Amino acid sequence: MGAVTRDFEGGATDPVALSVILPCYRAAGLAIASAETLASFLHGRISRWEIIVVDDGGGDFPASPFGANWGTGGSVRLIQLPKNRGKGAAVAAGMRAATGAVRIFTDVDLPYGIAPILLLESIIRTRRIHVVIGDRTFPQSRYATDLPVMRRAASRVFSLITATLVTGGFFDTQCGLKGFRGDVADALFALQRLERFSFDVELIYLALTYGLEIKRVPVVLEVNRTSSVRIGRDSVRSLADLARLRFNRFRGRYDCPQLEELVATECSSVTETLR
């Protein structure tokens, strides 16, 4: 059985300017509250928006989860995966269903607040940046001191390994706030193969491989309620995923003429402008 999509529309027909994906697992109450908070915030600030909540097989949503009336400016959609597959699978399902010119995913508890979502949207919309991500390593960021010691240590070790073996020094790949231009999201998430925590690394690796423009922004951790990380188990899985990433590249599973053409066309356009 495939994913089930349930729409709670506001009635608008204009093109979607912003899609926000909220992946969750056995956190229906939190997802409903976050979606309603985010909807109230976006109403009147973005001309046309959609929120896509993706239930990663938790099966704990009620029949009518979203009761707020957001007028004609936006909509909320619930996608329910038939079984638990991992955060990467949930994000991919939401991104592939999204139609926004800008598409952003963040954790369901909105750990970095709501304002950064508008920041990412503005950067991508006005500057046409391909990918914008939160980075917890900037001096302006506030993150690591609020986490347990073992969690901080595991995150730092994995980041160092990732920077050395995969991203060529691109340090923070795991921050749960990332935005994409719509056409770039279509191409990247069609290529995604990793379904659990290492999917962020895969996305950054692909973006760097194809020469996409990546902008990093500082983040401030406001809440941290939903982490399902298990240090030992997930560390082993993540290291295995890094090996799979290289193997997928070797087997040609990341070949993407669409991204090659996109980057070549934009480079050609800039070159013509400078002549």
DSSP string, 168-212: TT------SEEEEEHHHHHHHHHH----STTHHHHHHHHHHHTT-
Res 227: pLDDT: 56
Tell me the C-alpha distance between 179 and 132, whole Å: 5
Lookup result for tokens 């991919």 = 92
| 161 within 8 A of 239, measured Cβ to Cβ | yes
Q: Is the pTM of this model over 0.85?
A: yes
Q: Are 188 and 180 in contact (CB under 8 A)?
A: yes
Q: What is the pLDDT of residue 152?
A: 60
Three-class DSSP category at 100 = coil
As a whole number of angstroms, the distance between CA 113 and CA 179 comes to 15
Write out the chain's pLDDT in tens, 275 residues: 577 777 765 555 679 999 999 999 999 999 999 999 999 999 989 999 999 999 999 999 998 888 656 666 899 999 999 999 999 999 999 999 999 999 999 999 999 999 999 999 999 999 999 999 999 888 899 865 555 555 565 566 666 667 656 666 666 888 899 999 999 999 999 999 999 878 998 999 999 999 999 999 999 999 876 555 554 455 567 778 888 888 998 899 999 999 999 999 999 888 877 87
**Which domains does the chain show, CATH number per domain?**
4-274 (3.90.550.10)
Q: Exposed, middle or buried by CB within 10 Å (0-12, 13-18, 19+), for 7?
A: exposed
Model pLDDT, residue 12: 54
pLDDT of residue 85: 94
CB within 8 Å of 240: residues ≥ 6 apart: none
Residue with structure tokens 């070790």?
157
